[in-house]
Structure 1
Amino acid sequence: MSAEDSVLVRCPSCGENAAPRARFCENCGTALGTGGPDPSLPSEVTLDVAPTVLDLDPATGEAGGNRRCAACGGVIADDGYCADCGALGQSERDHFEERPATWVAGVCDRGIRHARNEDAMALAANGAFAALVVCDGVSSAPDSDVASLAASRAARDVLVAYGPEGPSSVEGATSRRIAGWTDAMVAASRAAGQAVRGAAEQLAATKGTDVADDPPSCTFVAAVVDHDLIVAGWLGDSRVYWLPDAGPAEQLSVDDSWAQEMIAAGVPRAQAETSPQAHAITRWLGPDAPDTDARCAATVPNGPGWLLVCSDGLWNYCSDAHEMGELVRKFAGCGEPHAAAAALVRWANAQGGRDNITAALARIAPTVTEQR
């Protein structure tokens, strides 16, 4: 490693240390090395303008129907401008929403400080099955928005192809389903890693560069709902929370991050998660990733509650599982996941919106008591 590669970069805008050779500050989105804020970022942000709502086909991930203007509600024409008021349309990549079922929905948003949305999500649902995948592009690497979108769709497709295993009331069914979904989750994370590598190779070929030169990368987190079973998988620091209506809330995932290593060593959570290198991840997806096998955890809820899959753009402002449960319940009084996810994103933007924000929710109401 050269001396240049080992030197930490301090953000000129917020003062947070960034990884060596980072191009953007992970904390506030400022372009590093410019001596000031990124001029491409808006100097003023209005939170009360309705965002573009884009419903994506859960099978293809593509937009269905016409985009609406955030300023007046008119239709965005093919040239990218509103046919009614002439305002420039918001990019589909800046803000999109998915609602594959009445009990599953998610919102993915650029936030306030970043110039582009490097988060991505891909959701699917059918009957009592759902798959929720969230990938967060690493801001210090180029084209991570491409990586996260490719990864999330590839993982979702693997989980959908696996599908529920059938009757769940026979002896030993739960343990077999956990084993099956764990294998499927690892396969999904591997497929996501291959998708990132494929995107990196295509980008490198277009640019005439080597794929090993500063490749795109992203985190990965996913959760599967199969009737009364939840299986989560992850690499990086995006999270899965189980938030029951009654009983203790639980973070199912365990961050692959410097902050988590400090917590494991006994450093208080609040101190660890606000340290300069808190968001330095120790596992990720990308051509330079040491491995792409997700770590997994399972739970069998014994009552109704909310499953939340989110990026750090949300949990940065509400990390503790108990506090996250209170926050979700505050916005989920109607029991409608789309409204609750949208409210969570608006809340995170109101806290400062320093990062891209993704919140995907599933309303779980198990009715079957299985033999274990």
Structure 2
Amino acid sequence: MTSTTQTVCPSCGGPISEADRFCEACGAELTPTGPSMPAIDTDTEPTIELNTGASAVPGPCRSCGGTISADGYCETCGTKATKPRDHFSEQPAPWVAGVCDRGIRHSRNEDALAVAADPEPGSRALLVVCDGVSSSLDSDVASLAAARAARDVLVAGHAKGLGTESSRNSAVVARLKAAADAASDAVLENTSPDSPNPASCTFVATVLEDGLLVAGVVGDSRAYWFPDEAEAVALTVDDSWAAELIATGVPRHEAETGPQAHAITRWLGKDAPDHTPRTTSLNVTGPGWLLVCSDGLWNYCSEAAPLADLVRQTAAANGGEPLATSSALVDWANAQGGQDNITVALARI
């Protein structure tokens, strides 16, 4: 990896290098003179296409309602049209859905999601979220490739073990690790060999099969289980500087708002120390919500109990429909400031 000059973020004082475009500690966009406002989109890097269909045509300008010209800008106010990657959703079954959004501050969406589900509610659901590291090159390409590669591995595998509960759990954990391997390979395939700042992203995935729920994580994207009649559960523990501080007794709010709150200690990428996901398993015995999300959501509501209340209230206001609820949670995060890309994936069990 090419060495770079180290300096500090003018916004929070966190460590940055001259190759960084965003501060990993506070998320501030960097320029030669300091943090900048998100007014200009300078994204010229390739982006993996979404399945938008051949007839996809830019709609009216989101700023003024004017017509978008062939060059991608509004003919009336000059605002650049939103790209399909800026905001997209997936709903493989009525009970499972996800929404991925650019947020307000960032000029492009480096989050990604990929979900799959069987038609029968509560039967089988596979949710994957990857959050591209903003300071790395091509992280938007790498995160989407990683999420899709992991989902495809999870969809293809359906091992039952040797018929016992422990062997079934071991089989699902092995499949999650294979999915992380595939995601890592996808990141490497989308990294330039001579890149001074290799593409990288976080990884979180959940597998729900016939009452068994297994979650695996690398980085600081998260999975939660919110049962209707029991205590909310955080299924994952972040690989981050903040999580290490919390483990030593530092209050969560203090650790998660400090100058290096979003400095992660593990990730997927060429320079990753280890990409084996840490896993958690539990048996689902009643109805509830499974949430998988990026830090664009949990930044504003981190602890399991209040986040469960938010999800339940939002779901109640949207008829319990996962896609509408995911979209409303994204809107809520944007209303709190939208400082980062936002991804919300939900399964109603």
* TM-score, length-scaled by structure 2: 0.86
Question: Are 1:25 and 1:32, in contact at CA under 8 Å, matched by a contact in 2?
Answer: no
When the two chains are superposed, the root-mean-square deviation of aligned CA atoms in Å is 3.0
Which residue identity does 2:179 align to in structure 1? A
Quick one: distance in 2 between partners of 1:172 and 1:305? 26
Quick one: distance in 1 between partners of 2:171 and 2:2? 45
The Cα shift of 1:3 comes to 9.7
Equivalent of residue 93 in structure 2, options 94, 101, 106: 101
5+ residue gaps, structure 2, are 42-47
Equivalent of residue 228 in structure 1, options 203, 207, 211: 211
Match of 2:232 in 1: 249
Match of 2:157 in 1: 162
Match of 1:298 in 2: 281
| SS of alignment partner, residue 98 of structure 1 | strand
Match of 1:339 in 2: 324
Match of 2:52 in 1: 63
Match of 2:344 in 1: 359
Match of 2:44 in 1: none
Quick one: distance in 1 between partners of 2:118 and 2:241? 37
| SS of alignment partner, residue 332 of structure 1 | helix
1:15 aligned onto 2:4: no
Question: Are 2:212 and 2:284, in contact at CA under 8 Å, matched by a contact in 1?
Answer: yes
5+ residue gaps, structure 1, are 43-55, 205-209, 365-372
The Cα shift of 1:227 comes to 2.1
Quick one: distance in 2 between partners of 1:246 and 1:78? 53
How many pairs are equivalent? 333
Question: Are 2:113 and 2:343, in contact at CA under 8 Å, matched by a contact in 1?
Answer: yes
| SS of alignment partner, residue 34 of structure 2 | coil
Percent identity between matched residues is: 55
Quick one: distance in 2 between partners of 1:86 and 1:351? 27
The Cα shift of 1:243 comes to 0.7
Question: Are 1:97 and 1:106, in contact at CA under 8 Å, matched by a contact in 2?
Answer: yes
User: Does the C-alpha gap of structure 1 residues 278 and 252 become closer, same or farther in structure 2, counting only changes over 3 Å?
Assistant: same
| SS of alignment partner, residue 290 of structure 1 | coil
1:134 aligned onto 2:129: yes
Runs (4 or more) in structure 1 with deviation over 3 Å come to 1-5, 18-21, 38-42, 70-83, 85-89
Equivalent of residue 111 in structure 2, options 103, 114, 119: 119
| SS of alignment partner, residue 268 of structure 2 | coil
Equivalent of residue 142 in structure 2, options 130, 140, 147: 147
Which residue identity does 1:328 align to in structure 2? V
Quick one: distance in 2 between partners of 1:33 and 1:243? 44
The Cα shift of 1:39 comes to 5.9
Question: Are 2:50 and 2:85, in contact at CA under 8 Å, matched by a contact in 1?
Answer: no
Question: Are 1:19 and 1:280, in contact at CA under 8 Å, matched by a contact in 2?
Answer: no
Residues 184-193 or 220-229, more deviating: 220-229
The Cα shift of 1:293 comes to 1.2
* TM-score, length-scaled by structure 1: 0.81
